[in-house]
């Protein structure tokens, strides 16, 4: 992890222990199948075994945390939806009516909804983790979205939510988000952290038409130029990020510290990982990239991480939906390594050396 004193309160991430790699590979290769014939499931089983330090990896109490927050940049008209939709969708999550609710139920996932910083006041509701850093960020078209102290507070809050689930026995976790205009924040994070022109990062988000897309690109290009001195990870996060993105960034670090398998969702969740990865590059060894989003820029971000996503379903909803869909694949990887017979135990002749 970077030695900056401003980051000293964040979780420390150790490189993935490779001690069991050869033993895991031997277990995988001696199952009753041709070598490599289960493809990415074999890679998953090996990665999960290394993370959990065992040749018998498991999926225990998989959890998905959806962080919600509002963005001041919405005032520039970069989204076709009003900011009030953030709070309305959070209410939908809590009522169990959103896509992520349905997909979490079918995958057997513990779902948590966190108010990281929504602008609209929310009623007290059972099931909501209400820990806002503020009532939405400021408008980064004119000033930094948040202070460094707010960014760190949000990161530490996200880390604390992960530790909560780790204490309850979760060893697999994913992160989702909700926040009108958060694709604008993510595009700026990507442009600055990856060194990519903003036009290659900006997409239609929740459905901008051509005129809206052109305006979004113009607004974000001007914002990047205004804040051209922001280049260090925490500076970039504070300048362009959202409270929900900052909480996700801290959550990634805590999940890796707790040796959890991390399911990375789409464009916005990956933008938060850019910050975590810049702070502690070993974090990506604990990450499974769930899917390739249909949002412009996400595949370029995946290339930046050197990632091979498990799924490509033309999804761009966010909420953690892609991460939820990947959980059954993790269960399948664990099932084959734990339940398939070996050539020796099944009495099946292996290929000749």
* Position 256 pLDDT exceeds 90: yes
Q: pLDDT tens digits, residue range 164-209?
A: 999 999 999 999 999 999 999 999 999 999 999 999 999 877 778 8
Number of helices (H) and strands (E), helices first, in the chain? 13, 6
Query: Which among 319, 339, 344, 352 is annotated as catalytic?
Result: 319
Residue 2 has pLDDT above 60, yes or no: no
pLDDT at 3 over 70: no
What are the residues whose beta carbons fall under 8 Å from the beta carbon of 149, sequence distance 6 or more?
none
* DSSP at 133: S
Average pLDDT for residues 51-68, to the nearest whole number? 98
Percent above pLDDT 90 for the chain: 88
Q: Where are the domains of the chain?
A: 63-330
Q: Residue 5's pLDDT is what?
A: 56
Class of 63-330 per CATH?
A: alpha beta
- The predicted-structure confidence for 24-37, as pLDDT tens digits, reads as follows 999 999 999 999 99
Told to judge if 319 belongs to the known catalytic residues of this protein, a careful annotator would answer yes
Round the average pLDDT of the chain to a whole number and report it.
95
pLDDT, residue 9, reads: 83
Distance (Å) of CA 222 to CA 198, 225, 230, 279: 10, 5, 14, 26
Question: Who wins on pLDDT, 208 or 139?
Answer: 139
Q: What is the pLDDT of residues 274-328, one digit of tens each?
A: 999 999 999 999 999 999 999 889 999 999 999 999 999 999 999 999 999 999 9
CB contact at 8 A, 111 and 66: yes
Q: What is the pLDDT of residues 84-135, one digit of tens each?
A: 999 999 999 999 999 999 999 999 999 999 999 999 999 888 999 999 999 9
């Amino acid at each position: 992890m970077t030695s900056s004193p401003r980051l000293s309160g964040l979780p420390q991430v150790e490189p993935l222990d490779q001690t069991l790699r050869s033993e895991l590979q031997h277990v995988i290769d001696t199952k009753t199948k041709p070598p490599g014939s289960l493809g990415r499931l074999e890679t998953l089983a090996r990665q999960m075994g290394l993370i959990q330090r065992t040749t018998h990896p498991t999926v225990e109490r998989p959890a998905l945390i959806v962080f919600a927050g509002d963005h001041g940049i919405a005032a520039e008209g970069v989204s076709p939806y009003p900011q009030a939709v953030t709070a309305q969708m959070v209410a939908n999550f809590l009522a169990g009516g959103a896509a992520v609710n349905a997909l979490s139920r079918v995958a057997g996932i513990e779902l948590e909804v966190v108010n990281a910083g929504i602008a609209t006041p929310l009623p007290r509701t059972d099931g909501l983790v209400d820990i806002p850093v503020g009532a939405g960020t400021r408008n980064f078209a004119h000033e930094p979205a948040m202070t460094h102290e707010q960014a760190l507070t949000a990161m530490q809050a996200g880390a604390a939510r992960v530790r909560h689930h780790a204490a309850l026995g979760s060893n697999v976790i994913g992160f989702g988000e909700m926040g009108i205009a958060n694709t604008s924040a993510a595009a700026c994070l990507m442009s600055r952290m990856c060194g990519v022109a903003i036009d290659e990062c900006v997409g239609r988000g929740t459905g901008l038409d051509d005129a809206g897309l052109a305006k979004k690109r113009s607004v974000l290009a001007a914002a990047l130029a205004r804040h051209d001195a922001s280049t260090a990870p925490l500076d970039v996060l504070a300048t362009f990020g959202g409270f929900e993105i900052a909480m996700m960034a801290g959550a990634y670090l805590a999940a890796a510290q707790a040796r959890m398998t991390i399911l990375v969702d789409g464009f916005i969740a990956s933008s938060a990982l850019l910050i975590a990865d810049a702070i502690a590059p070993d974090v990506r060894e604990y990450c499974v990239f769930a899917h390739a989003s249909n949002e412009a820029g996400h595949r370029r971000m995946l290339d930046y991480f050197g990632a091979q996503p498990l799924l490509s379903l033309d999804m761009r909803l966010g909420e953690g939906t892609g991460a939820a869909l990947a959980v059954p694949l993790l269960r399948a990887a664990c099932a084959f390594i734990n339940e398939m017979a070996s050539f020796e135990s099944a009495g099946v002749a292996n290929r000749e050396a």
